[in-house]
Amino acid sequence: MSGTVAFVLKGYPRLSETFIAQEIQALEKFGLGIRIYSLRHSSDQKRHPVHEQIIAPVTYLPEYLHDEPRRVASAWADARKLSGYSKARKIFLADLAQDRTRNRVRRFGQAMVLAQALLPTTTHIHAHFMHTPASVARYAAAMTNLTWSFSAHAKDIWTSPVWEKKAKLAACDWAVTCTRAGHEHLKSLTTKDNISLVYHGLDLDRFAPARRTDGRRDGNALADPTRLLSVGRAVEKKGYDDLLNALGTLPRDLAWNLVHIGGGPMLDELKSKARQLGIDGRIVWRGPQDQRAVMEAYRKADLFVLASRRAADGDMDGLPNVLIEAQSQGLAVVATRLSGVPELIEHDRNGLLVEAGNPPALAAALRQMITSPDRRQIMGEEGAVRVRSDFSLKTCIEPLAAQFGLRPISAA
């Protein structure tokens, strides 16, 4: 694809969206010209190394229209002169009839600013996430008569209303999603053949295999406990309250500790719960960390655990990238049988899977793995092989690059 592709992101750069950053950087290596348009500034205080390697410049759209009234007014004046403005306004009004919220109005305002900010060389608009970024991309594409596409991931699939998903699938030129579960769901909503399954993959140049030489801990030595690790935001769908409940029922003489990496609104609540359960002395809460620190944590851990579940609003994980990262480092995994997780973790081969929202089953699986270093090693090695054969970024990025009209570098 010649020219420039506008990538619309909800926020940039974000520590929790490494998969988007590595994808952008990989597409740049293919030769795709990208400019990033972010709907908000990131609140993260740290950045991953991959963010420093991305060439694409970033333009921030107004997060709230009233914060930049002159910019919005100027964009509105320009947008009304565009040949596609009437079409975009009709699409917006139809959406507003279904969703009479300020957020819907904001997306149209942001789309006008985006249309004004697009480079003359822009040939296509691509949104990461099917919900708000795709709305902005759709309206702006209509105004400017450009083609558009989106990548759907997890929350955006499971919490967006069906009417809106159907409308976007019908309107976009193409779309991709990163789990078989998400792909099957979206395919059921359209008669068009324009939605593809494309796994994110992992940049194995950054995640070189770990040499694990000290993983003999078996839960018997309080002075040298089995090291558990979990990486994820403290939000309902990650199931950290289930994990704490499970850990709280383990025998008191079983030696383990847990390192948690990630921020999130439930962090203080989880720390309080750990104190109530009497296990706070075994848990280290490290907060948000960059990829270097996360990598070091993977390599020091004995077992990775993630207790994902469906949240009350329907939100749930797709295939969490942290599971792929952990497996790349030879870590066995205890996780929940949910959404795209079984597409990576095969029960009793490279990890253990339990039903989501079941702390007793999670506790039983954790106890098995805490006390079984040989089993952890075998499962971890199986996981590393699986990642390298099926989830390498170099392999997974090619179908996405093809959507943008790019050929593999070796074939260029």
Would you list the DSSP string of 82-97? STTHHHHHHHHHHHHH
- Identify the pLDDT of residue 1: 64
For residues 308 and 355, the answer to whether their CB atoms sit within 8 Å is: no
Over its length of 412 residues, how does the chain's per-residue pLDDT go in tens digits? Answer: 679 999 999 999 998 898 999 999 999 999 999 999 999 998 888 888 899 999 999 999 999 999 999 999 999 999 999 999 999 999 999 999 999 999 999 999 999 999 999 999 999 999 999 999 999 999 999 999 999 999 999 999 999 999 999 999 999 999 999 999 999 999 999 999 999 999 999 999 888 887 766 679 999 999 999 999 999 999 999 999 999 999 999 999 999 999 999 999 999 999 999 999 999 999 999 999 998 999 999 999 999 999 999 999 999 999 999 999 999 999 999 999 999 999 999 999 999 999 999 999 999 999 999 999 999 999 999 999 999 999 999 999 999 999 999 976 544 4
Rama region for 61: left / alpha / beta (φ>0; ψ in -120 to 50; rest): beta
Q: For residue 353, which of 345, 149, 70, 165 has the smallest C-alpha distance?
A: 345
pTM equals 0.92
- Identify the pLDDT of residue 380: 96
Amino acid at 79: A
**Domains of the chain with bracketed CATH:** 4-201+393-411 (3.40.50.2000), 226-390 (3.40.50.2000)
- Identify the pLDDT of residue 116: 98
Q: For residue 149, which of 161, 137, 136 has the smallest C-alpha distance?
A: 137
- Identify the pLDDT of residue 219: 97
d(Cα 375, Cα 84) in Å, to the nearest integer? 61
Output the six-digit token pair for 335: 């996780």
Degrees to nearest 5, angle at CA 164 with 160 and 167: 145
- Identify the pLDDT of residue 43: 84
- Identify the pLDDT of residue 214: 67
